[in-house]
Amino acid sequence: MAYLLETKQLTMKFGGLTAVSDLNIEIDQGQIIGLIGPNGAGKTTAFNMITGVYKPSSGQILFKGHHIDGMKPHRITAMGIARTFQNIRLFKEMTVLENVLVAHHFRMGTNLIESVMKLPSYTKKEQESRELALSLLERLSLADQAYERSTSLPYGKQRRLEIARALATGPTLLLLDEPAAGMNPQESRDLMDFIFKIREDFKLTILLIEHHMQVVMGVCERMYVLDYGVTIAHGSPEHIRKNPKVIEAYLGADAC
């Protein structure tokens, strides 16, 4: 049986620098998998290759058994892969609802003539999109802030809104890039519950980059550890916590 996502010897070089070398990841449907390592280890570069931002120097990426390495980002999104970013990238002048509507727009299936002429078919699809966006905000406990500017939300809810925007594209695989960054301890605990909830509610598979060890150890079934672009370990949280190479390169003795 094919994996939902599989990378084979995935490599990314920038000139003489190898950012990621021979990365092999295997993710089954429904799993929550972690990708961890020190700053500069190549984690976000791996995300950028999977989502089409970078074309790999070599190697393969298979999603649902189909090769997607080198494919354009919008086509990868349409296939069912969505992501968030380490630095929140909300549309600051838009409301919470408008941020979600922008992400949902490509699923409307309208053409230029429909939208310019405001044909009844476009108006109907626009109303359906609005109803779906409001329903999504309700499911993620953001409906009460739907008409507020996105930047007026507390930091934790801005992170949640970014995830909502990713979910609006209808993914089966969600890539989260440091979702706990900048959160206080309570927000981090809430995030863990939130990740489990969206996995179940939206039937998601999740690949997670995270430096917050309580979060990543608490939600991930397996983890891959990168150091200078090379995979130095992979396995269960307990295995990773006790791995001497990981302790030396990343976790430190206090994490044991």
Residues 140-165: tens digit of each pLDDT: 999 999 999 999 999 889 999 999 99
CB atoms within 10 A of CB 18: 16
For the cut 80, the answer to whether the pLDDT of residue 86 exceeds it is: yes
Q: Within this chain, do residues 164 and 113 fall inside the same structural domain, yes or no?
A: yes
Do 12 and 42 touch, CB atoms closer than 8 A? yes
| Strand order across the 230-235 sheet | 81-83, 173-177, 205-209, 32-36, 222-227, 230-235
User: What are the tens digits of pLDDT across the range 25-47?
Assistant: 999 999 999 999 999 999 999 99
Task: Mark which of 112, 141, 168 sits at the end of a domain.
Answer: 168
Q: Within this chain, do residues 175 and 76 fall inside the same structural domain, yes or no?
A: yes
List all residues 6 or more positions away from 72 whose beta carbon is below 8 Å from its beta carbon.
52
User: What are the tens digits of pLDDT across the range 103-124?
Assistant: 877 665 555 455 555 666 667 7
Task: Mark which of 123, 151, 168 sits at the end of a domain.
Answer: 168
Q: Within this chain, do residues 220 and 185 fall inside the same structural domain, yes or no?
A: yes
Per cent of the chain over pLDDT 90 is 76
Say if 99 falls within a structural domain: yes
| Strand order across the 66-67 sheet | 17-27, 5-14, 58-63, 66-67
Determine the 3-state secondary structure of 211 from DSSP.
coil
84: which 2 tokens? 């968030």
| Domain residue limits at 31 | 1-80+171-256
Cα 30 from Cα 43, distance rounded (Å): 21
Mean pLDDT (whole number) for 181-208: 94
Do 46 and 35 touch, CB atoms closer than 8 A? yes
Check residue 251 and give its pLDDT.
67
Check residue 122 and give its pLDDT.
61
Per cent of the chain over pLDDT 70 is 90
Dihedral angle sign, alpha carbons of residues 242, 247, 249, 250: positive
Say if 85 falls within a structural domain: no
pTM over 0.95: no
